[in-house]
Amino acid sequence: MSSNKAVDFLQKKIGYIFVNKKLLGQALVHRSAIQGTPHEYDNERLEFLGDRILNLCIADLLFKTYRGDSEGNLSKRHAALVQQETLAIVAREIGLGDCLTLGKGEEATGGRGKDSILSDAIEALIAALYLDMPQEEDLSQARLFINTFWKPLLDKVETRDPKSRLQELLQSCGHPLPEYEIVELQGEAHNRVFVMEVITPSFGSAIGKGPSKQAAQQEAARALLQTLPEDLTQKTG
């Protein structure tokens, strides 16, 4: 259960005190906490709305910031800024994980730190900001929140996924492409975690975990890239 202190910190961090506390509370409830009850009590519906608001506000921010960029470059930047990893970065910055209400299973398996849960929750929070405002101002607070916490990331996020970057790096050095192997399957069938290893003859290997093979491969590639010298990885920057 989230603490009042954590929720107070969250509101202070984002610079907004909710009028409708129940709305904020719902945004912080993960579906695992109320299995079998209608979705009006968890944050899934809010997540749906927040996702659309985030996409609109990020598109607007990019359009106005990068006036000389092509549609293709804007699309790449947009995809990087709304991806799960980026949302989780912002969620951690505002202490969102400490505010969440989770089921016992998610609590026991570190749900407060999972990118998937954090990214869903921050989308729900965006929707709650939107709905808590008067109709004539409904988008203003959500837009302010997004601009405040995403602007610093505009030139920091990587516009290509780790697998693509690793492949391009190997090709640029004339090395064979990486291979990916399943090392282990963790968790129950409904909450499966894939453990993948990326193997390269030139740069060694690394392990990554994720809810799917593709996600685990991306994490393995990311882990391997992080072990390489900066001057080498800048070849694909």
User: Percent helix, strand, coil in the chain (nearest 5)?
Assistant: 65, 10, 25
Separate counts of helices (H) and strands (E) for the chain: 11, 3
Q: Specify whether 51 is catalytic.
A: yes
Residues 123, 132, 197, 219: which is the catalytic one?
Answer: 123
DSSP per-residue string spanning 117-179: HHHHHHHHHHHHHHHHS-GGGTTHHHHHHHHHHHGGGTTTS-SS-HHHHHHHHHHHTTPPPPE
Q: What single letter denotes the amino acid at residue 69?
A: D
Residues 42, 51, 115, 120: which is the catalytic one?
Answer: 51
Q: Specify whether 69 is catalytic.
A: no
CB 213 within 8 A of CB 182: yes
Catalytic residues: 51, 123
